Amino acid sequence: MCGIIGYIGSRQATPLLIGGLRKLEYRGYDSAGVSVFNDGMSRVVRCRGKLGNLEEKLKAEPAPGTVGIGHTRWATHGRPSDENSHPHKVGPVSVIHNGIIENHLQLRSELVASGSQFSSETDTEIFAHLVERQLVDGAPDLTTAVRRALLKVRGSYAFVVMSDKEPGTLVAAKNSSPLVVGLGEGENFVASDVTAILSETRKVIFIEEGELVTVTRDSVQITDFEGKPKQREPKIITWSAVQAEKGGFKHFMLKEIHEQPRAVADTLVGRVDLEGDDVRLDGVELDVKNIKRIIFIACGTSYHASMVGEFLVESLARIPVEVDLASEFRYRDPIVGPGDLVVAVSQSGETLDTMEAIREAKKKGATVLAISNVVESSIPRLADHAFYTHAGPEIGVASTKAFTTQLIGIALLAIYLGRRTNALSRERARTLLAELVQIPNKMRDVVEQGAHLQVLARRYGNATGFLFLGRGAQYPIALEGALKLKEISYIHAEGYAAGEMKHGPIALIDDQLPVVVLVPKGPSYEKTVSNLAEVRARQGKVLAIATRGDNEIGGHSDDVVLVPDTALELQPMLTVLPLQMLSYYVADQKGTDVDQPRNLAKSVTVE
Ligand code: M6R
């Protein structure tokens, strides 16, 4: 996600803003900017690229002044560019924003219809227009203008707003994106993360959901969105700077595991049309009637998400699907061409094998759709169409939130296709979409089971090998569970289709082998329970991942982790979470370098 900082006091703002943004650099960003008030008016300096570019620009266009806001942007709406960088200024109003405005298309067209002119492609600029309109329409102060503008906006956000008409005030608001106020002597800060301000103050107030805060150099006033005052005692932060980067979690991977409910909710924002029983793919329009076959291409974890995609697209859209490893596809002289939709899935958007596979597919006349987490990365640029997951930067090398948001992206695609092939009825789409929007809450339920997973990691973590079993859409989850464990704990693990166990891996089973079985309620439940019995008959230790309310499974397993019930198609989004957590706690217990496991790179840009 993007980084936010604001300063109001008597020191020069720009060096403090740049210093704060530098502390947020580890999160990844594609552009940066500041707006600093001086001599009756604020000056915006912003540009695409790293903070170094911004600093160079500031040498040519200095921004002196003691009140200012600064931002690092991770593009979601609109490509990375100078114009799309924050702050956005409309009239006297400067705005920085983290998150996504869900109803941005509707608000933008209303604003354009009533005469507003936009200078960027972002959803954020809308908010600057809305606040400016409120000031023009007579809002008595900036706080009131922001409060009134917030009533029009749906989505997840942390905003910080500054006005040339009221230069002694910063106004900030929070809904789902983090926001913190840092308290100083005759100066105050606003930031998205404590990391940004820790070198200046350790006395902070965390702003909560649905709160608005008005900050001057000497005061901090918190209200709800109706204007009702809220009282909050400041906290003293004792975290080190490194702990603060990780949000108090021991590793980025653990932080990212916990971020999944939010990341998934952000990926759904603006895409689910509950009234129309349909989905929107950010303006992507596919010629569905002429798609004869879909081929997913990807590597590693993205390949596992694609395998779930095969199950989803075939069952919901009834279009034949193949899934290929990008590194194999490109060397196989694949039979591919017009009528094929190639779906390239890549978190980084920079994986060389996937890029080369896309080139091959395009050369042979296929249409390519990219699903990526990084706006304007190479893969979406190479593809004919692209839409994005909104996981935010993933820092841990082992992919977690990127995977679950890919599953969401692929589920949206499957519903989109199903509605257009008519294989998916309106009623079924309605049920699935209603389930889909519940997924973030259900994920929260699972990630809160950390203490139980820690106990299981202690119980099984000394094994020298693991087997993961699943059927249907749980088979790729078994592969993903095995990959996660291998990557960060260096324990050998195999993922297998449960029905294949008797064709070979059953020979491995003894009382030393933990077998993790994915056995949520569904059509293959009984068959999988039989596989589980076969493991136990050979003294294998069974850890079952099952559906809450399943009272039978405990009798067939040594240990059970329960996940909430959901639609069959969406179960992988929940069952993968205990596997990520098990791997994490096993690795942590072994003391491996969880965030940067040996020999691995976050983005594989070589063959
Ligand atoms: O950025 P991509 O999704 O294209 O990356 C693909 C793989 O390199 C990646 O998923 C890798 O397997 C991760 N280490 C998984 O944790």
Phi, psi values for residue 478, rounded to 5°: -65, -40
Provide the pLDDT for residue 583. Answer: 98
Please give the number of the atom of ligand 1 that sits closest to the Cα of 397: 14
Residue 260 CB coordination number (10 Å): 26
User: Among residues 203, 521, 590, 602, which one is catalytic?
Assistant: 602
Q: Is 604 in the pocket of ligand 1 (CB under 6 A)?
A: yes
Q: Could you tell me the distance, in angstroms and rounded to a whole number, from the CA of residue 576 to the centre of ligand 1?
A: 16
User: By 3-state DSSP, what share of the chain in percent is helix, strand and coil, each rounded to 5?
Assistant: 40, 25, 35
Q: Return the beta strands (E) in 85-210 as ranges.
A: 88-90, 93-101, 155-163, 170-175, 180-183, 188-191, 203-206
What is the distance between the alpha carbons of residues 571 and 207, in angstroms, rounded to a whole number? Answer: 34
Q: Return the beta strands (E) in 84-202 as ranges.
A: 88-90, 93-101, 155-163, 170-175, 180-183, 188-191
| pLDDT, block means (10 residues), the chain with 607 residues | 92 97 87 96 96 96 97 88 96 94 92 95 95 97 98 93 97 92 97 92 94 98 96 88 84 96 93 93 93 98 98 98 95 94 96 94 97 90 95 92 98 98 97 97 97 98 96 97 97 95 90 96 95 92 97 95 98 98 98 91 77
Q: Is 347 in the pocket of ligand 1 (CB under 6 A)?
A: yes
Instruction: Give the architecture (CATH level 2) of 449-592.
Output: 3-Layer(aba) Sandwich (3.40)
Provide the pLDDT for residue 477. Answer: 98
pTM assigned to the model: 0.85
Provide the pLDDT for residue 1. Answer: 63
Instruction: Yes or no: say if 177 and 392 are a contact pair by the CB < 8 Å rule.
Output: no
Query: Is it true that 3-238 and 249-437 share their CATH fold?
Result: no
249-437: CATH, from 3.40.50.10490, 3.40.50.300, 3.30.420.40, 3.90.1410.10: 3.40.50.10490
Provide the pLDDT for residue 176. Answer: 81
Take atom 14 of ligand 1 and give the residue whose Cα is closest. Answer: 398
CATH homologous superfamily of domain 3-238?
A: Aminohydrolase, N-terminal nucleophile (Ntn) domain (3.60.20.10)
Q: Is 263 in the pocket of ligand 1 (CB under 6 A)?
A: no
Residue 450 CB coordination number (10 Å): 15
Q: Return the beta strands (E) in 74-136 as ranges.
A: 88-90, 93-101
Closest CA to 291 of 268, 316, 319: 319
Q: Is the dihedral of CA 314, 317, 322, 326 positive or negative?
A: negative
Query: Where in the chain are the domains?
Result: 3-238, 249-437, 449-592
Please give the number of the atom of ligand 1 that sits closest to the Cα of 406: 3
Ligand 1 pocket mutation, candidates 348, 350, 377, 584, criterion most atoms within 8 A of CB? 348
Take atom 9 of ligand 1 and give the residue whose Cα is closest. Answer: 300
What is the distance between the alpha carbons of residues 105 and 350, in angstroms, rounded to a whole number? Answer: 29
Q: What is the DSSP letter of 251?
A: S
Give residues with Cβ within 8 angstroms of 374, minimum separation 6. Answer: 347, 348, 349, 350, 380, 388
